Amino acid sequence: MHSEFLQQLQSLTESHAILFGDDTAKYCLDQRRRYCGSTLAVARPNSVQQLSEIAQLCSRYRIAMVPQGGNTSLCGAATPDESGQSIVISFERMNRVIEVDADNNTITVEAGVTLQQVQQAALAAQRLFPANWAAAGSCQIGGALATNAGGVNVLRYGNMRELTLGLEVVLANGTIWDGLRGLRKDNTGYDLKQLFIGAEGTLGLISSAVLRLYPLPTAHATALIDVGSPTAAVALLRQLQAQVSDRITSFELISRPCLALLQKHFSNLAQPFASLPEWCVLLELSDGGDSEALIEQLAKILNDTGFENAYVAQNQRQSADFWRLREHIPEAQRLEGVSIKHDISIPVGDIPRFLIECQTQLTEQFSDAKIVAFGHLGDGNLHYNLFLTETSSLIYQHEAAINAIVYQLVAQYNGSISAEHGIGQLKKVSLTHYRSPCELALMASIKNALDPLGLMNPGKVLN
């Protein structure tokens, strides 16, 4: 049966668009090298029509489909399992910017366009697409939508769910749903696009999207501040919100272990502090008008609130230097070795208590634990990672125990075990423990309605 299926698959597109054997290897290994699967083939359609025909064929032969964008998932969401019974559908050839509508402040793109390409196309039209994170040059919009990705600017602009107006989706049976509408107001029934955003490809294949654009800010003010503690960071956030409102674009919390790893692995990145602070904040304000006035306003606020060890960037180069520190934290962690990673969200005001309680509980059980915490304090999203002095090959033996401590405390604070990375394979079991039976049943009913044969990205999220 497989040979017949593969012959028909090859007939649907150009010969070079279907990969077999060793050519599929890079599509079967996830970014963190935790999951390595196998596939019948990698299909690389170049249009929604080809994508639809591939889905129809898979439905007819009961072949599972694993959608893959830039393969930057941190949870194994885009990696096939080891059975070799599925195909990977790569969107790398569906990479066209379809339209930039400056009057409507929208951009329409295919799913394989990278985040960086969307940002550049928006900039060329004097517009801003505000989503931004470290993998901007490699992650694709389809994957960002499938995981409802966030990044450093969620505080002001929201995550991908808020930045999306319309979708085009190929369903499990190959039907094309055309919802590419750039409307802010549309109350004609259920908002179907929201089903597919954050579903990690388990309900359908996102092929194109209409995304929101914004006027291009002309004024920026960036600061790196020794805040001393997370409690002081939250107080500063509240003070800034009272004085500058939604001009706060980003508000990042960074712990001393992060700065120490940067100093160790990226000594070329200049840090302004004479000695490393226990906690610092990297923040940015943006607006129309003049940068000089905004910089002066931020400097005055910081002076008035008593933050003496604060550095306000005086130009774009200094601002970029501050942001390079934040952007290199994940790579510094990778160079340090294997860690147990958590992408969690907590109500902002509870984060200081959570950090104290979680560290106390972890170090009681693991005396050699080194916690590297940082993240988007403004929207309550922490990247809470833990190293042990044991070798990398042994740390995963303790993963379940470490996760239990972190996730149970997250649940006590009514938080989430996945803020922006998704569930994938990594957190599938944990999801069943931290979502109610009612929620899980509702998710399963939606899955069964849209994918009754269970062909869409099997082994992820629910099944």
Cα–Cα–Cα angle for 275, 278, 281, rounded to 5 degrees: 95
Portion of the chain with pLDDT greater than 70, in percent: 99
CB neighbour list of residue 46: distance below 8 Å, 6 or more residues apart: 13, 14, 17, 93, 94
pLDDT at 393: 63
What are 98-109's pLDDT values in tens digits? 999 999 999 999
Domain boundaries, the chain: 2-90, 97-215, 219-331, 337-421
Kindly state the percentage of the chain with pLDDT values over 90. 89
Residue 392's pLDDT is 61
Q: What is the mean pLDDT of residues 311-322?
A: 95
CATH topology of domain 219-331: Alpha-Beta Plaits (3.30.70)
pLDDT, average across residues 285-298: 95
The mean of the pLDDT values for the chain is 94
CB 98 within 8 A of CB 166: no
Confidence at residue 390, expressed as pLDDT on a 0 to 100 scale: 64
| 98-124 mean pLDDT | 97
Q: How confident is the model at residue 136 (pLDDT cuts 50, 70, 90)?
A: confident
Q: pLDDT-based confidence at 396, cuts 50/70/90? A: confident
Of 3.60.15.10, 3.40.1160.10, 3.30.1370.60, 3.30.43.10, the CATH number of 2-90 is 3.30.43.10
As a whole number, mean pLDDT of residues 27-46 equals: 91
Q: Comparing 76-85, 202-211, 321-330, which segment has the lowest mean pLDDT? A: 76-85
Inform me whether the pLDDT recorded for 1 exceeds 80.
Answer: no
Q: pLDDT (tens digit, 9 = 90+) per residue, 17-35?
A: 999 999 999 999 888 888 8
Q: What is the mean pLDDT of residues 408-432?
A: 93
Confidence grade of residue 225 (pLDDT, cut at 50, 70, 90):
very high
Specify which residues 114 forms β-bridges with: 140
Place of tokens 């970029």: 320
Contact status, residue 101 vs residue 133, Cβ threshold 8 Å: no
List the beta bridge partners of residue 170: 176, 205
> Which tens digit of pLDDT belongs to each residue from 340-382?
999 999 999 999 999 999 999 999 999 889 999 999 999 999 9
Q: Is residue 391 pLDDT above 80, yes or no? A: no
Give CA separation, 305 vs 282, 298, 372, in Å.
16, 11, 27
What local confidence, expressed as pLDDT, does residue 444 receive? Answer: 96
Instruction: Please determine, looking at this structure, whether the domain spanning 337-421 carries the CATH number 3.30.70.2740.
Output: yes
Lowest-confidence segment of 266-275, 315-324, 349-358, 385-394 by average pLDDT: 385-394
Looking at residue 102, its amino acid is A
Q: Do 2-90 and 337-421 come out as alike in CATH topology?
A: no
Domain 97-215 has CATH 3.30.9.10: no
Mean pLDDT of 85-101: 97
